[in-house]
Structure 1
Amino acid sequence: MATTTDEGIRLPNADDVETWLPPELWLNVFDLLAPQDLSTVSRLSNKFHILSRCHLHRRIYIDGGKATTMRVLRCMVLLLRTREMLHYVQELHIVGHGRISNWDPFGLRDQIESLPYWGQSLETVNGILTELQIPDLKDWKSAIRIGSPFAWVAALLPLLPNLKLLRLDYMSVHHGGWPGLMLTHLTSGNVASRTFETKFDRLRLIDYGSNVPSGLALSSWGMDHVRDSIKRQFAGLFRPPRVEHLGLWLRYTDGIFDRPKDGCELNFRSLKSMVLAATDAEELIYDILKQTTGLQTLHLGLAYRDPAKPPFQEQDGIEWIRNGLLMHQKGLENLSLVLELDDVIIESSTWRKELDTSLQPFTHGFFRSFRSLKTLEVPIQVLVGRRNINSPDMNRLLPKSLRKLLLRYDVVEDRSLQVADGGDEEEEEEEDEERNDKPWNDDSIFHCTRRFLDSRRWQTPHLEIIAFRVFDVLPFFVDDATGDVVALSERYGILVEREIWWTTGMWTYWDLGHPLSRWLVEV
């Protein structure tokens, strides 16, 4: 029944208010409320109470760095028990920083089997997998039975038809690749059951493992290799039709360009930002960039972690990358490049002699042709080359539109390069050349930067900030040149950043909604 105020204003009761807007719009209104206010509203009527519960299910967030295996499984069981609420889920975040070392179900069998409603949930998930007729069903059921967290997360995907944002940790790529395999199957056109048929046509953002750490960290954790059986886990990432922001740890390329059986086009043209982390698929990069015509933001992480496969050794390897980037020289606004090499490759004298030639397509004013570029993150060796470190000048290498520049120090070479003793003239010539071929170090990068800063207003009039990213093996390592960095910062207003293992592009990464983990030295 409606009530009337002392001023004679008639106020509708809660039941009347409920009818003013459809449920979907009420959920949007609830987005604007503080938790305490939402709690108050939920008590006004039974319908508002139901809608508030739906609102709480719109976002599922699990901190992969803190949550244990048991906690994740409890969460999965609870969600399956409130299965009708999964229709309202719009965001699924399962992301951590560093290694998720406590997501190992082995040794927890007794605890897992004693979870409330475990048997019932196990039966439900197995029924879903069977109805989907998913390939390798036996492997799936085995992973579900032992309590593999990422397999359980993957089993939720068929129940999330209104998902708009999907962010999964790089560990999901390494430990089974279950979410990627499920997404591949659900978008393949081979789903037997209409109950679970979904094209994920509301998805706007997919991040599948783009927070992968450096190869050094992965190697120390024994994560150098991924099982061959999960190579196709990336095939479904380019299929959801409306994804605008895509990030992935592209370990393998199998099935990337396979079209679904229903004839739907692959989604490349709607992508506005893309993060390709830790990949060496040079020709595939070209094929992808050729089709992503609407890109505004790109992070390209080139990682050569196999000593038997040095960078750019395939015919036209560097040209694939260069030509792919040139297709976006008019529209690209944010660009980040990373060059990660295995120590064995860096220490090879043969590789050092070939690197200058390999990088030439980038070092002769290549980036200046990107007339719309506002932010650029690039290794110093890629921008100005690896040799003649006393002479390079950045003044004519950058576009005038640039507002933010970040210089990376990715390829860290040994400062005390040694050449084996030899007696013939050829070996002596090699030794002389090696001595003159000094690698970059902190001091030389600072000097190169200082020369640029003295005239930067003429070459890049809109430049607002220059950041400097030094890769250190240990995040707590303090270089002797820190004092020089501070002095440079005080004089020119430079932002100095110390990189830790799991940081990716400084500016390109924001489109995926990640708060970067950074060690920032403020001055």
Structure 2
Amino acid sequence: MTLFTAQNFTHMSQTRLPPEVWLNIVRYSSRHDVLYNLSYVSSEFNRYANTLLYCSIEWEWQEVPFHCILRLLENLVTYPELGRYICYLRIERTDPFLNYDWEPPRRERYWRYRVPSEHGELYQRLRNHIFDLNLPDTTRWVEEVRHGNPYVFVALTLSFCSNLRYLSLDYSFVQMGGWPGRLITAAYNATPAAHPRLPRTSRRRSSSLRRGRQMAGSGVRGIPRFEMLEKVFYGHNVPDTWHRGNSGPLYPQVHPHQFQGLFYLPAVWSLGVWLRHPPTFAESPHRVLNIGRIRDLCIVRATIQETDIEQILRRATSVVWLHLGLSYHPVTGRPFQTPGNPVLNGLLAVRDTVALLSVGVEYEIIGFRHALTDQDRRNWAQFYGFLHQFRRLVDVELPIQMLLGVNGHPTADRPTLGSVLPPTVSELVIRWDNWRAWPGWTRGQILGAIQQHLLNTLYLTPELEIVTVRMWRGLPVFPRDTQLLREQMLGATGVEVAEYTDAMTRGLMPTRPGPLAW
């Protein structure tokens, strides 16, 4: 077998093969150490190897060492042209977990008092780079760099990634300052203007630092507008929070300006976001809202006003897959109490385009125990039968209360499951949200409503193939307890009935692949 040495590659690189062919040849060397060695063969192979070494970056946020974050940023500051190779960036916590007190996956500051001497030159370069970007609140960015804030370092990494196509960031980036979102927002708030002069103290540098600034600023002056970014998931993995009582913990406060820029990105068609503050919907010649071009929209555990939800959905004229997750304050908020029911109005605004619909309704304390009032019953009853207005609906996931009301006991005015579902639905997921509300629904009552539909009114939903009951993973329920009943329903009707437990975060159709699996 022929060994691929540096001499062999140097000789082969002189042959007249198109660059695309060489790139495909190098792509077979998936090991990073091989690609790293190839990058030293010649300038040509350095370009091919860097294309593959930097094109995709995936980090487990709770595990990636701090020095890896620094090393990547140092390489980008020294060689800014490497940033254009980065197309895929995914930094998030992926293991299942509960969050009792909103402790972030990693600490916010790694340098307690001053920048370590071995990182002094990197600090100076980053400081100059921040001034070049003309970021709002520049001194705060510089201060966080001085303290070794990894969330800021990742945000500054984005400033080099002008060709980024996919971005997925952990929920803690929203919680811990919102630096990446603030960077994107700043890119669209800035108007074309000359950059300010650096402070006098920053101009007193050694010649080596001056050369470092020239390298750091070449081609990166100003924030990129991420015009190739197609998929953005920003905090979409926000965890479920559990507390034995009704006192908390409540959601942490976050920076309000980190979400605006997400709705200006011109090429984004898939957006998932833990939306804590609404966009302003302001437009100008250099920033145009992109909501109307989004096809997959996942709003996770949003705490914004219901009227803002309506405004977003009214502008989402192209959305095909929609997850709307609403989270309410346990003291000051009750679902759908806003006059006119803007949430229902917003959902009906997308009825002609949505084929896959998912809605979640919960409180900031996921196990919040509260008594339901007559007003609550009237608020939820406004949704009776609204699905019939969706012409293309195939898969649907809704809280049981949105389908059949807040009370599991049969009443004269409570509809049946068959009467509220459109005939086009092939998969139904029933969310057992707000299970501690009383009087509410029990697991047995939900299965009873499903059984009644399958045995008596299945003809109303001829396309129905599977019904799933989705429950929070902290509940003491076991699918094997109801296995016999579910098998009997399958044998009698041919429709599968399943039970599924998880964190109840974003819309999930457990039996179907595709964007719902995210």
**Category of TM-score, reference length = shorter chain:** 0.7 to 0.9
| Distance of aligned partners of 1:139 and 1:223 in 2 relative to their CA distance in 1, 3 Å threshold | farther
- In structure 2, the residue matched to 1:48 is 45
| Distance of aligned partners of 1:250 and 1:487 in 2 relative to their CA distance in 1, 3 Å threshold | same
For residues 286-365 of structure 1, the aligned pairs below 5 Å read: 286-316=310-340, 319-341=341-363, 347-349=369-371, 351-363=372-384, 365=385
Q: 2:62 aligns with which of 31, 46, 65?
A: 65
Distance 1:176 1:511 in 2: 32
Distance 1:236 1:147 in 2: 25
Q: CA deviation at 1:450?
A: 1.2
Q: CA deviation at 1:53?
A: 2.1
- In structure 2, the residue matched to 1:394 is 417
Q: CA deviation at 1:166?
A: 1.1
Q: Please say if residues 93 and 167 of structure 1, whose CA atoms lie closer than 8 Å, have aligned partners that are also in contact.
A: yes
Q: SS at 2:383's partner residue?
A: helix
Q: Please say if residues 162 and 200 of structure 1, whose CA atoms lie closer than 8 Å, have aligned partners that are also in contact.
A: yes
Q: CA deviation at 1:331?
A: 1.4
Q: 1:406 aligns with which of 429, 453, 456?
A: 429
Distance 1:463 1:359 in 2: 25
Q: CA deviation at 1:373?
A: 0.9
Distance 1:189 1:35 in 2: 40
Q: SS at 2:126's partner residue?
A: helix
Q: SS at 1:236's partner residue?
A: helix
Distance 1:70 1:45 in 2: 27
| Distance of aligned partners of 1:112 and 1:375 in 2 relative to their CA distance in 1, 3 Å threshold | farther
Q: CA deviation at 1:188?
A: 1.8
| Distance of aligned partners of 1:147 and 1:339 in 2 relative to their CA distance in 1, 3 Å threshold | same
Asked if residue 164 in structure 1 is aligned to residue 165 in structure 2, the reply is: yes
Q: CA deviation at 1:478?
A: 3.4
- In structure 2, the residue matched to 1:214 is 240
Kindly provide the amino acid, as one letter, of the partner of residue 87 in structure 2. Answer: Q
Q: SS at 1:331's partner residue?
A: coil
Kindly provide the amino acid, as one letter, of the partner of residue 450 in structure 1. Answer: Q
Distance 1:507 1:374 in 2: 12
- In structure 1, the residue matched to 2:461 is 460
- In structure 2, the residue matched to 1:428 is none
Distance 1:232 1:128 in 2: 21
Kindly provide the amino acid, as one letter, of the partner of residue 107 in structure 2. Answer: D
- Of the structure 1 ranges 295-304 and 155-164, higher mean CA displacement relative to structure 2 is found in 155-164
Q: CA deviation at 1:398?
A: 1.1
| Distance of aligned partners of 1:179 and 1:112 in 2 relative to their CA distance in 1, 3 Å threshold | same
Q: CA deviation at 1:463?
A: 2.0
Tell me which of the two structures has the higher relative contact order, counting C-alpha pairs closer than 8 angstroms and 6 or more residues apart.
Answer: 2
Q: SS at 2:428's partner residue?
A: strand
Q: SS at 1:362's partner residue?
A: coil
Q: CA deviation at 1:410?
A: 0.6
Q: CA deviation at 1:162?
A: 0.4
| Distance of aligned partners of 1:139 and 1:189 in 2 relative to their CA distance in 1, 3 Å threshold | closer
| Distance of aligned partners of 1:101 and 1:264 in 2 relative to their CA distance in 1, 3 Å threshold | closer
Q: Please say if residues 144 and 152 of structure 1, whose CA atoms lie closer than 8 Å, have aligned partners that are also in contact.
A: yes
Kindly provide the amino acid, as one letter, of the partner of residue 174 in structure 1. Answer: Q
Q: CA deviation at 1:510?
A: 7.1
Q: Please say if residues 358 and 398 of structure 2, whose CA atoms lie closer than 8 Å, have aligned partners that are also in contact.
A: yes
| Distance of aligned partners of 1:345 and 1:314 in 2 relative to their CA distance in 1, 3 Å threshold | farther
- In structure 1, the residue matched to 2:215 is none
What per-residue deviation string (whole Å, max 9, x for no partner) do you get for residues 122-170 of structure 1? Answer: 1122111112221111111111111111111111222111011111111
Q: SS at 1:196's partner residue?
A: coil
Q: Please say if residues 485 and 496 of structure 1, whose CA atoms lie closer than 8 Å, have aligned partners that are also in contact.
A: no
| Distance of aligned partners of 1:139 and 1:504 in 2 relative to their CA distance in 1, 3 Å threshold | same
Kindly provide the amino acid, as one letter, of the partner of residue 84 in structure 2. Answer: H
Superposition TM-score, scaled by structure 2 size? 0.80
What is the number of equivalent residue pairs in this alignment? Answer: 464
Distance 2:57 2:172 in 1: 18
| Distance of aligned partners of 1:279 and 1:103 in 2 relative to their CA distance in 1, 3 Å threshold | same
Q: 1:239 aligns with which of 248, 260, 264?
A: 264
Q: Please say if residues 479 and 499 of structure 2, whose CA atoms lie closer than 8 Å, have aligned partners that are also in contact.
A: no
Q: 1:495 aligns with which of 486, 493, 498?
A: 498
- In structure 2, the residue matched to 1:367 is 387
- In structure 1, the residue matched to 2:107 is 104
| Distance of aligned partners of 1:127 and 1:382 in 2 relative to their CA distance in 1, 3 Å threshold | same
- In structure 2, the residue matched to 1:446 is 447
| Distance of aligned partners of 1:360 and 1:31 in 2 relative to their CA distance in 1, 3 Å threshold | farther
- Of the structure 1 ranges 129-138 and 506-515, higher mean CA displacement relative to structure 2 is found in 506-515
Superposition TM-score, scaled by structure 1 size? 0.79
Q: CA deviation at 1:92?
A: 1.2
Distance 2:515 2:78 in 1: 31
For residues 126-141 of structure 1, the aligned pairs below 5 Å read: 126-141=127-142
Q: Please say if residues 32 and 53 of structure 2, whose CA atoms lie closer than 8 Å, have aligned partners that are also in contact.
A: no
Asked if residue 257 in structure 1 is aligned to residue 281 in structure 2, the reply is: yes
- In structure 2, the residue matched to 1:203 is 229
Q: Please say if residues 64 and 169 of structure 1, whose CA atoms lie closer than 8 Å, have aligned partners that are also in contact.
A: yes
Distance 2:227 2:319 in 1: 20
What per-residue deviation string (whole Å, max 9, x for no partner) do you get for residues 170-202 of structure 1? Answer: 100110111111110012233655723422110
Q: CA deviation at 1:268?
A: 1.6
Provide the aligned C-alpha RMSD in A.
3.3
Distance 2:126 2:243 in 1: 34
| Distance of aligned partners of 1:105 and 1:323 in 2 relative to their CA distance in 1, 3 Å threshold | closer
What per-residue deviation string (whole Å, max 9, x for no partner) do you get for residues 307-332 of structure 1? Answer: 1232333332xx21111111221210
Distance 1:143 1:489 in 2: 58
| Distance of aligned partners of 1:273 and 1:402 in 2 relative to their CA distance in 1, 3 Å threshold | same
Unpaired runs of at least 5, structure 2: 1-10, 196-219, 491-495
- Of the structure 1 ranges 80-89 and 324-333, higher mean CA displacement relative to structure 2 is found in 80-89
Paired-residue identity, %: 24
Distance 2:248 2:62 in 1: 15
Q: CA deviation at 1:51?
A: 0.6
